[in-house]
Each structure stands twice: as structure tokens, then as C-alpha cells.
């Protein structure tokens, strides 16, 4: 059984891989059953991301909204847009959920002779306070965007002029996105939301950078310059776990990655991931992955996001 995670650096950035560098759009079809706990954990990337739910239901946290208890609930036919560098997380609400998404490099439109259109239609989106959008099929204002995303999804790659047709649809999609964002009111609490997101990034980055060491809640809170109680409140409200529970989950995901992609001894993986004993490591690993670390490696399970 696969238990993938989104592979990120210490600062939570995901490096997007492009199968064809001469055509810089990367397409994914993510089956969330394949992910650990049905979750694509917090991450960000330079790219713009568009997604459409093909089946099931998810909870989405994007950008400034990621620092609040509220989030977007998406069902089949709904979609989302994630702006460049926005922190986001997607959690499956029911088994069998499938998400189709594609990403564009932040400099995608710089590859085209956009001229004045770049100033008028591209920069207003990238510079807006909108970290992203939740798109709902029943909302009239969202239908043009979703229809265009559906056209991109349904386009056969073997058709003549596929790349040109894809570029045409992406430009049409962006125009509709520009109109949709231009109609939005500026959020009154954007500065407060930005501060909360910065704090969350700092705490998660600290945990990711030091997960192999002994970490106290006080040190996590200190990374964001907040109190211990505020640290607990933030983790419970946003992630639904305590800092220690999140740290343990992250340690296990890193161990799973090392088991999949390296030949390092089990004991080395155990201690380098912050576990103090092999027995405790094995117990936690079985509870999460349903098998021992040795069985996981033997079965050749892959822990990373795949194209």
C-alpha cells in the first residue's frame, strides 16, 4: 500500500518537476487514498496551481486562510486556484477522492509576447491579496473558470496542435481568473492573516529543519516569537494536531522516504529521524503504515508525490 507525501524542503517549498521542459506545464492526477492520512500536507511553490475535484470531497486550506479554522470544502466538480508562493494543504474527506491539477511556472506568461497585457492582466493577479480561490460549480461566477479547466482536463494529448490548444485554453483561463479576482473585495483582515501565515511557516520550517533533534514546544513557539499556549492553539486550529503529534507524523514520513529511496540501515534512519529507540520507532511506524519498517522497504513502497 502506497503512503505518499508531498516532498518539501526545510522551508516547506515543493520543487515542481516538469516532464517536458520545452512545454512548461506540469499535470497531475492525485489519488488521495495514496497519501499518508489522505493528506497533501502544508507546502508552497513558486508556480500557480489550478485544481479540479474529479471524485470525492476535500478540505482545502490556502494562504492566509491557512491560519484560520475556516477552510474551503470542495466536492466533485468544484475547483481551486493557488497563487504563487501561497501556503496550502489538502485533506481528503472521503475515500476514493481524486484531484486533477496542473501548475504553471511563475514566469509562464513571460515566455509570451504579452506587452501591455502583462501589466494589465497578469501582475494584478500575482500582486493581489488573494492567496487563492475556492471555486464551486453551483456559483455562476465560478462556472467559466471550471468549464475552462474541464476543457483542459479533457483534451487528448495526441490531438494535432495539442500544445498550442493548451496554451490557448490557459490564456482563456487566466483572463477569466483575472476578471474573477478583479471583482473581489479587498479582505479587511489581510494584514492579520499574513502575520498568522508567517508564524505558521516559521514553526513548521523549524520543525522540518530540526526534526532529528530533541524538540520542545517552547522551542517551536520561540521560532515564531509567540507563547506556548498560542503555539498549541495555532496547531490545533489549523492542523488539528498538537505540535508533538505533528512532529511525530513528520518524522515517520521522513523515515518512510529514507526507507523508499536509500539503503541506509534501519537503526540509522530511526535515530536520525529523532526516535530514541528502535522498538518505539517500529511501534509508531506500524500504527501509521500498517507494517514494520523492514516490510515497508521490502515491499518497495514509494513515499513521494509522483507525476
Q: What is the pLDDT of residue 3?
A: 62
Domains, the chain, with CATH or none: 26-182 (2.60.120.280), 190-298 (1.10.10.60)
| Residue 65 pLDDT | 45
| Cα–Cα distance measured from residue 37 to residue 42, given in angstroms and rounded to the nearest whole number | 13
Taking alpha carbons only, the member of 82, 115, 31, 62 closest to residue 305 is 31
Whether 291 has a pLDDT exceeding 80, the answer reads yes
How far apart (Å, rounded) are the C-alpha atoms in residues 261 and 4?
12
Map 100-122 to HEC letters: EEEEECCCHHHHCCCCHHHHHHH
Please tell me the predicted confidence (pLDDT) of residue 227: 95
Comparing 193 with 16, which gets the higher pLDDT?
Answer: 16
What pLDDT is recorded for position 307? Answer: 30
- What is the per-residue pLDDT for 74? 96
Between 65 and 23, the more confident residue is 23
Dihedral angle computed from the Cα positions of residues 289, 290, 296 and 299, in that order, rounded to the nearest 10 degrees: -120
Q: Hey, how many other C-beta atoms are within 10 angstroms of the C-beta on 229?
A: 10
- Partnered with residue 133 across adjacent β-strands are 81
Please determine, for residue 186, whether its predicted confidence score (pLDDT) is greater than 80.
Answer: no
Predicted local distance difference test score (pLDDT) of residue 194: 67
d(CA 287, CA 294): 14
pLDDT tier, 2 (very low <50, low <70, confident <90, very high otherwise)? low
Using CA atoms of 115, 119, 120, 125 in order, give the dihedral in degrees to the nearest 10.
130
Average pLDDT, the chain: 86
Q: What's the N-to-C CA distance of the chain in angstroms?
A: 18
- Mean pLDDT lowest among 42-56, 168-182, 233-247: 233-247
| Contacts with 122 (C-beta within 8 Å, 6 or more apart), sequence order | 109, 114, 174, 178
Better-predicted residue by pLDDT, 197 or 88: 88
Average pLDDT of span 29-35: 92
Pick the more confident residue, 189 or 203: 203
User: What average pLDDT does this structure show over 154-162?
Assistant: 90
- Check whether 183 has a pLDDT greater than 50: yes
DSSP state of 44: B
**Phi and psi, residue 88, nearest 5°:** -150, 160
For residue 8, which phi and psi values (nearest 5 degrees)?
-130, 165
Check residue 185 and give its pLDDT.
61
- In the structure, what pLDDT confidence band is assigned to residue 306 with cuts at 50, 70 and 90? very low
Mean pLDDT over 77-106 rounds to 93
Residues, the chain: 307
Residue for grid cell 491579496: 129
pLDDT digits (tens, 9 = 90+) for 224-275: 999 999 999 888 877 778 999 999 989 998 998 899 889 999 999 999 999 9
Most trustworthy range by pLDDT among 7-21, 23-37, 91-105? 91-105
Q: What per-residue confidence (pLDDT) applies to 305?
A: 46
Share of residues in the chain with pLDDT > 90 (%): 53
* Predicted pLDDT at 42: 84
With beta carbons less than 8 A apart as the criterion, state whether 274 and 211 touch. Answer: yes
Beta bridge partners of 98: 31, 55
Residue 115 has pLDDT above 90, yes or no: no
Given this model, what pLDDT does residue 64 score? 52
Asked whether the predicted pLDDT for residue 105 surpasses 70, the reply is yes
Q: In degrees, to the nearest 5, what angle opens at C-alpha 49 toward C-alphas 142 and 81?
A: 25
- Residue 48 neighbours by CB distance under 10 Å: 24
What Å distances lie between residue 64 and 158, 205, 253, 279, CA to CA?
40, 17, 26, 40
Amino acid at each position: 500500500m502506497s503512503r505518499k507525501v508531498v516532498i518539501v524542503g526545510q522551508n516547506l517549498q515543493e520543487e515542481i518537476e516538469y516532464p517536458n521542459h520545452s512545454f512548461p506545464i506540469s499535470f497531475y492526477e492525485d489519488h488521495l487514498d495514496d497519501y499518508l492520512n489522505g493528506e497533501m500536507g502544508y507546502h508552497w511553490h513558486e508556480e500557480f496551481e489550478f485544481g479540479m475535484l474529479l471524485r470525492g470531497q476535500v478540505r482545502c486550506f490556502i494562504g492566509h486562510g491557512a491560519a484560520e479554522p475556516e477552510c474551503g470544502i470542495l466536492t466533485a466538480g468544484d475547483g481551486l486556484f493557488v497563487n504563487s508562493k501561497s501556503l496550502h494543504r489538502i485533506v481528503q474527506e472521503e475515500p476514493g477522492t481524486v484531484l486533477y491539477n496542473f501548475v504553471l511556472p511563475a514566469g509562464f506568461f513571460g515566455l509570451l509576447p504579452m506587452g501591455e497585457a502583462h501589466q494589465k492582466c497578469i501582475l494584478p493577479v500575482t500582486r493581489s491579496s488573494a492567496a487563492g480561490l475556492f471555486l464551486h460549480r453551483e456559483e455562476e461566477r465560478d462556472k467559466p473558470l471550471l468549464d475552462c479547466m474541464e476543457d483542459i482536463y479533457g483534451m487528448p494529448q495526441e490531438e494535432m496542435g495539442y500544445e498550442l490548444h493548451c496554451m490557448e485554453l490557459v490564456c482563456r483561463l487566466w483572463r477569466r481568473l483575472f476578471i474573477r479576482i478583479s471583482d473581489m473585495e479587498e479582505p479587511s483582515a489581510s494584514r492579520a492573516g499574513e502575520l498568522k501565515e508567517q508564524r505558521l511557516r516559521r514553526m513548521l520550517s523549524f520543525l522540518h529543519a530540526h526534526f532529528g533533534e530533541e524538540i520542545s514546544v517552547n522551542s517551536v513557539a520561540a521560532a515564531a516569537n509567540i507563547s506556548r499556549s498560542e503555539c498549541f492553539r495555532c496547531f490545533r486550529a489549523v492542523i488539528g494536531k498538537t505540535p508533538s503529534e505533528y512532529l511525530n507524523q513528520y518524522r515517520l514520513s521522513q523515515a518512510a522516504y529514507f526507507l523508499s529511496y536509500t539503503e541506509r540501515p534501519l537503526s540509522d534512519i530511526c535515530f536520525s529521524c529523532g526516535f530514541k529507540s528502535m522498538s518505539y520507532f517500529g511501534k509508531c511506524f506500524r500504527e501509521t503504515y500498517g507494517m514494520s519498517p523492514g516490510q515497508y522497504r521490502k515491499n518497495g513502497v514509494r513515499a513521494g508525490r509522483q507525476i
